[in-house]
Every structure is written in C-alpha cells, then in structure tokens.
Amino acid sequence: GENVEQHPSTLSVQEGDSAVIKCTYSDSASNYFPWYKQELGKGPQLIIDIRSNVGEKKDQRIAVTLNKTAKHFSLHITETQPEDSAVYFCAAPTSNTGNQFYFGTGTSLTVIP
C-alpha cells in the first residue's frame, strides 16, 4: 500500500516570500497527486493537482512539481499573502479502486504580514 510523508509540519514565511512543501510516496504505480488547502473551520479544498504524465503544473502563484523517479512531489507558493495561511495536505492514491487516497499529515503555513 501507499505511504505518504509530508514535510515540514509547520512553516512560517514573510509576506511576499515563497513557500515550499514536500511529499514523498512509496507506490511507483501512483499516477495522480492532489493538494488540498484547509482554512480554519472549513473542510479541505483542492487547490491544484498533477498527473504522472507531466512534471510540473502551474496555476497563478501556485505550482506543483513531480519527480517520479525519486517519488516525490512538491507544492510551491510564490509571493505569499496572509490569506495563504492555512493547513495544506498532499495525497496519493491507494492501490485499491474507488478513488481512495492516503493523505499526508499536513503542513500549517503561516504568512506573516
């Protein structure tokens, strides 16, 4: 089965700086990697995802990179803003069917104004 590790568990950055969160996975057959943002008092919401046929995907200030050989993927947030403060989760699919995922343990990002 899949094992997902996420680092760091907490991250503080100055407004305008970049933030990087990294995840590793164990199942080389995994082919879809979503990132979720959870704001205080809300459920997680997808912010970006990547499939294994590409190495990078970008959406405005957010990007995800995937290294299939090393089995790790990273979330990059540039020009951080206070509203980026939240908990971020990575996920990787389980080997079962049914759209199931293993989630990382989360990164609490604080952007200091």
Binding footprint of other proteins on the chain (CB under 8 A): 6, 9, 31-32, 34, 36, 41-46, 49, 89, 93, 97-101, 103-106
Residue 34 CB, nearest distance to other proteins (Å)?
5
Taking Cα atoms as reference points, which of 44, 101, 106 lies closest to residue 75? Answer: 106
Specify the residue for token string 């989360």: 106
Q: Which residues sit opposite 101 in a β-bridge?
A: 93
β-pairing, 101-103 vs 5-7, is unpaired
Nearer to other proteins, 98 or 113 (CB): 98
Nearer to other proteins, 45 or 67 (CB): 45
Specify the residue for token string 């995937």: 66
Nearer to other proteins, 36 or 113 (CB): 36
Say if CB 51 and CB 73 are below 8 A apart: no
Residue 7 CB, nearest distance to other proteins (Å)?
13
Residue 107 CB, nearest distance to other proteins (Å)?
10
Residues 51, 32: Cα–Cα separation, whole Å: 4
Nearer to other proteins, 14 or 42 (CB): 42
AA identity, residue 58: K
Residue 44 CB, nearest distance to other proteins (Å)?
5
